[in-house]
Amino acid sequence: MATKKVGAAGKFGPRYGKKLRDNYNKIHKSSKKKYNCPVCAREKSVTRVSFGVWRCKTCKTKFASGAFEFREENFKK
Ligand SMILES: [Zn+2]
């Protein structure tokens, strides 16, 4: 169960240790987050498609960036 305290790592229950579950939460959060598009400058438009692939839902541009986090410095126009 994903409560406020345990976050998305709640599905693991008490398993795998606190540190690992905290880490999973951090990565899960940043991968579900919406990011600003560096091409069309639209806010919160870039979402994660798959491992390292991000897409802007407004201008449909695909980006190769971080695996679990969108980073603009990785992206070349
Ligand atoms: Zn865009």
Topology classification of domain 35-77: N-terminal domain of TfIIb (2.20.25)
Residues 1-15: tens digit of each pLDDT: 678 889 999 999 999
Residue type, position 48, single letter: R
pLDDT of residue 4: 80
Q: How far apart are CA 43 and CA 69, in angstroms?
A: 16
What's the gap in Å between 67 CA and the centre of ligand 1?
A: 19
Query: Could you tell me the distance, in angstroms and rounded to a whole number, from the CA of residue 39 to the centre of ligand 1?
Result: 5
Ligand 1 center to 28 CA (angstroms): 23
Query: How far away, in angstroms, is 60 Cα from ligand 1 center?
Result: 6
pTM summary value: 0.82
At residue 62, the 3 state secondary structure works out as: strand
The residue ranges of every structural domain in the chain are: 1-32, 35-77
